[in-house]
Amino acid sequence: MTSQKLYLLDYGAGNVRSLLNAVEKIGYSIEYIQTAEDFDKADKIIFPGVGAFGYAMQALRAKGFVEPLKAYVASGRPLMGICVGMQVLFDGSDESPSEPGLGIFEGQVKLFDNSTKTVPHMGWNATQIVHSTEALAAPALSDQSRYYFVHSYGVPYTGQGSQTEFVHSATRYGDEVVVSSVWKGSVFATQFHPEKSGAAGLAALKSFIESDLVRPASASPAAPPSSIPEAFTVRVIACLDVRANDVGDLVVTKGDQYDVRESADKGGDVRNLGKPVDLARRYFDEGADEIAFLNITSFRNMPFKDTPMLEVLRQASRCIFVPLTIGGGVRDIVDPDGEHMWPAVQVAGEYFRSGADKVSIGSDAVYAAERYLKRIADGETPLDGTTAIEQIAERYGRQAVVISVDPRRVYVSGPEDAPAHHVVKTAFPGPNGEQFCWYQCTVKGGREGRDIDVHQLVTSCEALGAGEVLLNCMDKDGTNSGYDLELIGDVKKAVKIPVIASSGAGKPEHFSEVVKATAADAVLAAGIFHRREVPIADVKAHLKAEGIQTRNA
């Protein structure tokens, strides 16, 4: 089917660039559906989606695509849905009760129970094919592979009733089992993101594009939910701090307690550890589960559209097929001409369209939390929809919003010395023997402390709509002495969203230590990966030896 016309159905979901790049990577071209008439031209359609169920259905209706899409499916031509693009094929979702789905499959999308696990379900997990007779059939999913999931809602898997006719695979997340792919007739859809699932995901996309997609009769009964194994993994994330050096070149650097310059006897230049895209590609090849670009240069002297990080994302997403996060500068921006203003949600949108999957918000998250707490103290409604966190989460889903926290220890003699803050007892006394501390949040790259603690920040941002916490520690940064287990453990207990442990890793044992001690959802490192002091493969091998599941690249 080399002459087939392959189309992409984009309702404004966010990062579709990665899907375009994935299709091109496996040797095909794809066109956008622009009008309702384009459905008649398509031989196959890929329908990706992220964010809210309701927004997706509203956007489809606004574009006049609902009936043409139903007619396309009824014609028997192949359709592949991805993530929300799978969910809207069902009757409806508890996320948006007033918005009916397309009703192609029977069932309701339900919210995960966050009383027993972290939500969103964010990371790499397995898909168990539920009919053994389909194990070797197209589309090419493998029980042995891991795929990238990021969602707060899913279709509960029962293995009974009409599900026996269309469920292709199921996935366990903690105490719940959800449908991870459906396949009936010429319709195939996945809850996971194949374009972000490395080689395994590219194989699934290739299979859809190249196969006739005829589901065989299922001679075997559907597997019961109890038989679906737990296979969720801890993510290993490579982080790249990106800034312009003194001659204007964009480089990856790394600070020691946030100081990115060499010592005076070495010239005092910005540390140069490589070019951003080259280094990120190396990490993808070495098995990193995610890659984070943290922009630590403001680029205030140029229009936002010319910001170099946009081009970094475009280039990186052409060759990297795992999730990409971009941080730094996700706020309201005014161009140097003073005329063009970019609201933070539009800034995020440009990053997503350039290849990012998540945006990381730093200083503005602190300001948003301060405002949230003040509104509570003043007796006002704390959620008013004005913060970047709220607006981006509403538009693209909370899974797209990461808050990056830069705290430092403030030692006190006891809780009574800091009554306005969350004080913890520490096993590492302060300079005057203090047995207690609180973690002060900072802004402006750690240069300014604020009167808000980490506990207040993360709980406020979770309420505002953040979907993940990137938890740094100024005291540990660049020390190679291990993560701050007290800080990370305290934050994990305070929130239900995923927490990424950052700052301080120096050897493989530090990674297993933090996972076992705090149940961190992901582990991040920078300098030791840049300098090849600890290869990513060694970290994963050690985690596996310690009984911690990780993804094979």
Give 255-295 pLDDT, tens digit per residue: 554 455 555 555 556 556 578 999 999 999 999 999 999 98
pLDDT at 217: 64
Residue 109, in any domain of the structure: yes
Residue 51: per-residue pLDDT: 80
What CATH number did the domain enclosing 174 receive? 3.40.50.880
Question: What global pTM score does this model have?
Answer: 0.93
pLDDT at residue 258, as a whole number = 47
Q: How far is CA 437 from CA 23, 373, 417, in A?
A: 51, 21, 10
Active site residue 38: no
Is 319 assigned a catalytic role?
Answer: no
Most confident of 259-263, 338-342, 520-524: 520-524
523 bridge partner residues: 236, 501
The two tokens of residue 484 are 């701050």
Number of domains, the chain: 2
Mean pLDDT of the chain: 92
Q: Which of 406, 468, 486, 513 is catalytic?
A: 406
The amino acid sitting at 206 is K
Model confidence band, residue 491 (pLDDT cutoffs 50, 70, 90): very high
Looking at the fold, whether 403 and 542 belong to one and the same domain comes out as yes
Question: Are the CB atoms for 454 and 409 separated by under 8 Å?
Answer: no
| Amino acid (one-letter) located at 294 | L
Q: Are residues 330 and 402 in the same domain?
A: yes
**Are β-strands 468-471 and 448-453 bridged in parallel, bridged antiparallel, or unpaired?**
unpaired
Q: How far apart are CA 440 and CA 46, in angstroms?
A: 46
Q: What is the CATH number of the domain that holds 335?
A: 3.20.20.70
Is residue 525 packed enough to be buried (19+ CB in 10 Å), middle (13-18) or exposed (0-12)? buried
Tokens of 224: 């019961």
- Res. 1: pLDDT tops 50: no
Structure tokens belonging to residue 318: 């052409």
Contact 276, 316 (CB under 8 A): yes
Using an 8 Å Cβ cutoff, are 330 and 344 in contact?
yes
Proportion of the chain above pLDDT 90, given as a percent: 80
127: its two tokens: 């898909």
- Cβ(553)–Cβ(286) below 8 Å: yes
Q: What pLDDT does 299 receive?
A: 63
The mean pLDDT of 348-365, rounded to a whole number, is: 95
Q: Which helix (H) or strand (E) holds 428?
A: none
Q: What is the mean pLDDT of residues 153-176?
A: 96
Which candidate, 148, 175, 157, 155, places its Cα nearest to that of 230?
175
Q: Given 10, 176, 195, 475, which residue is catalytic?
A: 195
pLDDT tops 50 at residue 411:
yes
- Of 326, 129, 321, 320, nearest to 218 by C-alpha is 129
Judgement on whether residues 450 and 480 belong to the same structural domain of the protein: yes
Catalytic residue among 241, 357, 462, 490: 241
Is the domain of 407 the same as that of 526? Answer: yes
State the pLDDT at residue 52.
Answer: 86
Q: Which residues, listed in sequence order, are joined to residue 443 by a DSSP beta bridge?
A: 448
On whether both 195 and 117 belong to a single domain, the answer is yes
Burial-class residue 165 by CB neighbours within 10 Å (0-12, 13-18, 19+).
middle
Q: Which residue bears the tokens 């005014």?
A: 334
**Both structure tokens of 302:** 């140029």
Our measurement of the distance from residue 389's CA atom to the centroid of its chain's CA atoms, rounded to an integer in Å, reads: 15
Give tens-digit pLDDT for 22-76.
Answer: 999 999 999 999 999 999 999 999 999 888 899 999 999 999 999 999 999 999 9
| Lowest-confidence segment of 110-124, 323-337, 406-420, 460-474 by average pLDDT | 323-337
| C-alpha to C-alpha distance for 23 and 45, rounded to whole angstroms | 12
Q: How far apart are CA 410 and CA 412, in angstroms?
A: 7
195 as an active site residue: the answer is: yes
Percent of the chain clearing pLDDT 70 (strictly above): 92
Residue 261, in any domain of the structure: no
Task: Judge if 10 and 61 occupy the same domain.
Answer: yes
In a domain, 553, yes or no: no
Output the six-digit token pair for 447.
């240069």
Residue ending a domain, choose from 232, 264, 292: 232
Residue 96 CB neighbours (<10 A): 19
Q: Are residues 196 and 317 in the same domain?
A: no
Q: Which of 47, 36, 34, 39 is nearest to 5 (CA)?
A: 39
The answer to whether residue 551 is domain-embedded is no
Range of the domain at 184: 6-232
193 assigned to active site: yes
The answer to whether 83 is annotated as binding is: yes
Catalytic residue at 484?
no
| Measured CA distances, 203 to 181, 207, 535 (Å) | 15, 6, 26
Q: How many CA atoms does the CB half-sphere of 488 hold within 13 Å? A: 30
262 falls within a domain? no
Does 329 belong to an annotated binding site? yes
Give the active site residue among 121, 151, 193, 455. 193
